Amino acid sequence: MLPKEEQVKCIDGMIDAAMEARVASTKPKDFDEWIVRMMGEGIADLFMRPYNYKVWAVPTTKMQCQWLGERVAAPDLKTVTKNVILNKTAGNWGPNATFRFPAEGGTGGIWIAVANTLPKEKTMYGPHATVTKVDADAHKVSLKDGTTIKYGKLISTMSVDFLTEAMGNHDLHQLSKGLFYSSTHVIGVGIRGQRPERIGDKCWLYFPESDCPFYRATIFSNYSPHNQPVATKKLATMQLADGSKPESDGLNEGPYWSIMLEVSESTMKPVDSENLLKDCIQGLVNTEMLQPKDEIVSTYHRKFDHGYPTPSLEREGVLKELLPKLKDMDIYSRGRFGAWRYEVGNQDHSFMQGVEAVDAIVNGSVELSLFYPVSFS
């Protein structure tokens, strides 16, 4: 709970924002201005600016605001004021108040099941099937194992900057360099013990604070009992949360719970990759997600180079030139990094981009998800 002084600062800023919104005659020029207009300086300073810098790895002043739509739920002044006075926590609100999640296999299980419906002779997976060259003139794709595939129309879901490089098209590749992205470090921590009551049934938590490197913590063990080992499984303790060694290196039973952390990185927000796992565990202690003597039984760290396609100020200018030029070459660049539009880059949106691209090619249908995201969502 915020101190009363900070609660007052937030409400004061929301009142100012609501009054100014009545007379505003122009659209916000960037994401930072949108935040102030919608939420006020209090929420901007305490949460939105520091949190979004941790997420996007760029300042909010360098981001446009066309992408927002259903992604950022604006607070209601009356509801916020009532909850502050009554000392109540906000109920379910925003686009993800309820959702479905696979009981087993995580979200990857969905796409494995989809892939299994396709004829095996029509699919190629793995490093050997990596695209090495796209010959747009010859309408031919070359793969790492030497395979070549002819096409009439090509739907590409690789990142558009890699696509233009694979095409060997200097002008298009230079154009794609105007797009900005951040990398994402995914940190996993498995813990022996009961899930703390302070976490409860929460699925994820956001962290604008500077005492932890991660911006989001996801409690995957709350999604499904299959997201951690059964309690009878015997595992060794790797370390305690404070970094010290356990008293015993023997195998012990659970119960267990798991947590996933996300850390962004860019040229504007460097990260100490070598010490990131250690820093994240310390961040869990700093934020009281873990106690110093909690037993850690497993860890995981992986960096995804292309993590978030940034809705930068320059993005639309690049995409409005780049995507049509590719389409003129019979190439439909779609998906999270293929179309580079974060607001329609989730798994469901990306899937629909593929479906609608096929419909456009075969039937001449309009692609709603990518080009009309507001009306579609």
Structural domain count of the chain:
3
Q: For residue 158, tell me if it sits in a domain.
A: yes
In the chain, the amino acid numbered 362 is V
**How far is the C-alpha of 12 from the C-alpha of 182, rounded, in Å?**
34
Same domain, 195 and 233: yes
Three-state SS at 73: coil
Q: For residue 286, tell me if it sits in a domain.
A: yes
Same domain, 157 and 194: no
**How far is the C-alpha of 46 from the C-alpha of 354, rounded, in Å?**
39
pLDDT for 81: 83
Number of neighbours of residue 8 by Cβ within 10 angstroms = 13
pLDDT tens per residue across span 16-27: 998 888 888 888
Please give the helix or strand (H or E) that residue 84 lies within, else none.
helix 77-86
Same domain, 215 and 304: yes
Burial 305-339 (b: 16+ CB within 10 A, else e): ebbbbbbbbebeebbeebbeebeebebbbbbbbbb
Same domain, 172 and 272: no
Same domain, 150 and 258: no
Q: For residue 92, tell me if it sits in a domain.
A: no
Q: For residue 97, tell me if it sits in a domain.
A: no
pLDDT for 92: 62
Q: For residue 79, tell me if it sits in a domain.
A: yes
Same domain, 176 and 316: yes
- Residue ending a domain, choose from 308, 323, 345: 308
Q: Do the beta carbons of residue 338 and residue 158 sit within 8 Å?
A: yes
- Residue ending a domain, choose from 279, 308, 337: 308
pLDDT for 377: 36
Q: For residue 359, tell me if it sits in a domain.
A: yes
Q: Do the beta carbons of residue 103 and residue 226 sit within 8 Å?
A: yes
> 173 lies in which domain range?
120-180+312-376
- Residue ending a domain, choose from 248, 281, 308: 308
pLDDT for 21: 81
Same domain, 130 and 215: no
Half-sphere exposure of 206 (CA within 13 A, CB side): 11
Same domain, 301 and 371: no
Same domain, 250 and 366: no
Same domain, 126 and 234: no
pLDDT tens per residue across span 294-329: 999 999 999 999 999 999 999 999 999 999 999 999
Kindly give the confidence (pLDDT) of every residue in the chain, 377 residues in length, as a single tens digit, with 9 standing for 90 and above: 788 899 999 999 999 998 888 888 888 999 999 999 999 999 999 999 999 999 999 999 999 988 886 456 667 788 888 888 887 776 665 666 788 889 998 889 999 999 999 999 999 999 999 999 999 999 999 999 999 999 999 999 999 999 999 999 999 999 999 999 999 999 999 999 999 888 888 899 999 999 999 999 999 999 999 999 999 999 999 999 999 999 998 999 999 999 999 999 999 999 999 999 999 999 999 999 999 999 999 999 999 999 999 999 999 999 999 999 999 999 999 999 999 999 999 999 999 999 999 999 999 999 999 998 764 33
pLDDT for 200: 87
- Which residue in this structure is represented by tokens 């699925």? 203
Query: In this structure, what token pair is assigned to residue 22?
Result: 């009545």
Same domain, 275 and 189: yes
Q: For residue 99, tell me if it sits in a domain.
A: no
Q: For residue 107, tell me if it sits in a domain.
A: no
Q: What is the CATH number of the domain that holds 325?
A: 3.50.50.60
Percent of the chain with pLDDT over 90: 77
Whole-number Cα distances in Å, 346 to 46, 195, 334: 27, 29, 12
Same domain, 30 and 79: yes
Contacts of 52 (CB under 8 A, 6+ apart): 31, 35, 60, 63
